[in-house]
Amino acid sequence: MTGPDTWPGEWVRARLGVRPVGDGLADLVGLAVRRNPRRAHLLVSAVLGKHVPTDPRLVYGSGLLLGELVRRRLTDRDGEPYRPLLDDALNGAPAALRDRMREPKPPVDALVLGYAETATALGHSVADALGGAYYLHSTRRPVPGHDAYGGFEEEHSHATSHLLLPADPRALDRDVPLVLVDDELSTGQTVLNTIRELHAVRPRRHYVIAALVDLRGADDHDRMRALAHELDTRIEAVALATGRVELPEGVLEAGQALVAEVEATASESVPQGSFPVTRVDLGWPEGLPDGGRHGFRPEHRERLEKELPAMADRLAAALPEDAGRVLVLGFEELMYAPLRLAEALADASPGTDVRYSTTTRSPVLAVDDPGYAIRTRLSFPAHDDPADGPGERYAYNVGPGADPARAFGTIVLVVDAAGDTPALAGGLLARLRGLAPVVLAAVPDRTKEHA
């Protein structure tokens, strides 16, 4: 039996022997079991807002903090110790971290690349912290009219095709540092593959790899140094926490057996309510990209900051009077716009508990136990006509499971134009309105306007 303060990785540690080791590492991650034949465990971040509904100010503040560590490397300057700020945020003061990180600083010019789908908002937050950076994230969605600049493979992922689709490829050809952002570094092979490929197109003098947690071993660090020597360039890495994950022998097979055992006796409950759906027009500005799929410039950032309060007011006006706990739920790669809307909504509604997370392609075992990071799972069909064909998608920790205190009183679903389809209404939207009233906000397609 586990208590209310149990680390949300204890269930996996007890059954598989998987354990993160490192100063402060367990504060930033929990554990779950993957439904994936290539890797048994999943590190579930406490500050990313992907699988676990999280205070959006903690998510954005943590991303800005990571960006501050990047700034220090790019400017060769030291700064104040960051860990106390992060610890305070984790212990109930997320707005203080966010506000501290948003204090004005001189802009730093760089190119920032985030990895889809998990790190699209994290990379965008790092770019925000630099002030003068151009941001682009990889994508698994081919878009007509946008030629691929490059591609790379994420070898442990269940869906490995990545594309870079900048609206203006010239933005990637400038002689400035390149920052590569992911939520975790396990071996670092993905980022090294990326550096090698992009360096062949446009050599650079400085690369910085940034992640929330860095789990690489000595051999992985050696590979990074060897690549820097081979390419005659500088490659550095920063992270909010470092350490390693202890993996017992045979953990992959044990993980697969554990998934089979649990799923043989468990069934996913389908929400049966019929709550209302309210569609709201965000007033998304003309010409403003919905994120970094085709590039996001400093002038886009300035405009978004100016317009966010008004968009948050529109969302707040659409909430029911008895909104209760509010979840702002994003959609796969569309993580940054929902995050910033959730953050602005939290600022505009100080008496409301606002959380943020997004849907995902990643299949993970759900176990309704306080010592496990993925308590509940909603499954639904893909609703954006994906290039790799139809498939199942997931929203984790949205349903309350056996704990009524985890229930959300209102769900704000934010999708982009490609995901606003009849399949959405019959799938995810139907699941969500079985749980709570839903406010639906679609961010319009502005790809042609900023191409």
Instruction: Find how far residue 287's CA is from the centre of its chain.
Output: 24
Domain with CATH 3.40.50.2020 in the chain: 56-245
Helices 56-75 & 336-348, crossing angle to 10 degrees?
120
| Domain at 56-245, CATH from 3.40.50.300, 3.40.50.2020, 3.30.56.10, 1.10.10.10 | 3.40.50.2020
From the list 120, 33, 86, 64, the residue with the least C-alpha distance to 295 is: 120
Res 151: pLDDT: 56
Backbone conformation region of residue 17, classed left if phi is above 0, alpha if psi is from -120 to 50, else beta: left
Q: For strand 206-214 and strand 19-21, is the pairing parallel, antiparallel, or unpaired?
A: unpaired
- Of 7, 85, 16, 99, the C-alpha closest to 46 is 7
- pLDDT at 38 (0 to 100): 79
* Third-level CATH fold of 277-443: Rossmann fold (3.40.50)
Average pLDDT per block of 10 residues along the chain, 451 residues long:
74 95 95 85 96 98 98 92 93 95 96 96 98 95 81 47 88 94 95 94 96 97 98 98 94 92 81 91 95 96 97 96 96 98 95 96 94 96 91 96 95 97 96 97 72 43
pLDDT at 153: 47
Structure confidence by residue, pLDDT tens digits, 285-319 = 999 999 999 999 999 999 999 999 999 999 999 99
